[in-house]
Amino acid sequence: MSVPKSVALPGGDQIPAVGCGTWTVWEAAPGAVRDAIKAAIAEGYRHVDCAWVYGNEQEVGEAIQDKIKDGTVARSDLFVTTKLWDTAHRRGAVTEQLKKALARLSLDYVDLYLIHWPTSFKEGDIDFPKDDNDKHIFEFHDIQDTWKGMEDAKDAGLTKNIGISNFNSKQVQRVIDGARIKPCNIQIEVNPLFSNARLIDFCRERGLTVTAYAPFGSPNRPWKKSDDPVLFEQPILKDIAAAKGKSPAQVCLRFLLQRGLVVIPKSVTPSRLKENFQLYDFELSEAEMKQMFSLNRDHRVYGQEITLDHPEYPFSIPF
């Protein structure tokens, strides 16, 4: 089964099917993301996934400017995504935060702007506002209203496309019901241990394209529990990889691409960046796809438990 190198967004733009994740908070020294994005662009990546809350948009921006200046790419060759953080869900705050993000990125526009989570925090400069009892401070904004702010940002030419992330099916539907411009993309956790199939189908039936984050289940996450399943150690995956002469990481990514998803693996290691981009010289048969699907454990790694008692907590219904 051949897979395209990009996925068409409803408005006509193409999102490159393999992008570069940049959330490295717990494992990257200052400068590591800048070097990784420079190496990634040199390797051929044209899609970078950022977010306000990752705190490194400036480094990403420096890397992009460097590769534009040295002639490797033009701005128009790149697809840059960033995400609205929970502290700017008021309609008027959406555009304000995007303007600041663009300044950090040294860009005039992004290609895709996403609402990072449906859960809104107290507005302000502190990304994780807390009260005296160390409890996160929420503030309530209707997601349909926040979406209007996203439409404003697109109207202002600050972003070419708008979408959502970590919304459940009911929240997706509410955004669509109140939208003048429909979301064109949803970014959600998907990997072989967490197939997320029902939400993917639900979104596709409504015209959204789907990006799979944490395609390896974020193996080095600090909150990993000792009894959590370890993706790269699953015998089925190891056997398929050995039979293909590919790494387990490459088989995971190819599996997701064959499901029609966009993937955004993160690495700050040049050899892995290279490996994660070499996905088009092999394919998985129907039987191998079936075997890969059998690895699903509905095992979510990004549960965002800090918002468990937020009224918009997205993961309290099946999908």
The residues annotated as belonging to the active site are 54
Verify binding: residue 215, ligand NAP, rule CB under 6 A.
yes
Verify binding: residue 319, ligand NAP, rule CB under 6 A.
no
CA 19 from centroid of its chain's CA atoms: 9
Which C-beta is closer to ligand NAP: that of 95 or that of 166? 166
Residue numbers 119-148 binding ligand NAP by CB under 6 A: none
CB atoms within 10 A of CB 155: 12
Q: Which helix (H) or strand (E) holds 234?
A: none
Residue written as tokens 């809104």?
120
Using DSSP's 3-state secondary structure scheme, residue 301 falls into coil
Verify binding: residue 84, ligand NAP, rule CB under 6 A.
no
Q: Which of 218, 234, 291, 307 binds ligand NAP (CB under 6 A)?
A: 218
Segment lying near ligand NAP (by CB under 6 A), choices 93-101, 135-143, 150-158, 213-221: 213-221
Verify binding: residue 22, ligand NAP, rule CB under 6 A.
yes
113: nearest Cα among 68, 78, 73, 151 = 151
Q: Which of 16, 192, 217, 314 binds ligand NAP (CB under 6 A)?
A: 217
Verify binding: residue 159, ligand NAP, rule CB under 6 A.
no
Which C-beta is closer to ligand NAP: that of 9 or that of 39? 39
Residue numbers 263-302 binding ligand NAP by CB under 6 A: 264-269, 272, 275-276, 302
Q: Which of 219, 236, 289, 306 binds ligand NAP (CB under 6 A)?
A: 219
Structure tokens given for 6: 């990009």
Segment lying near ligand NAP (by CB under 6 A), choices 16-24, 142-150, 279-287, 307-315: 16-24
For 84-102, letters b (16+ CB in 10 Å) and e give: bbbbbbbbebbbebbeebb
CB atoms within 10 A of CB 73: 16
Residue 87 CB contacts under 8 Å (≥ 6 apart), including other chains: 93, 97, 120, 121, 122, 123, 124, 125, 126, 127, 129
Q: Where along the sequence are the contacts to ligand NAP (CB under 6 A)?
A: 21-23, 27, 49, 116, 165-166, 187, 213-220, 247, 249, 264-269, 272, 275-276, 302
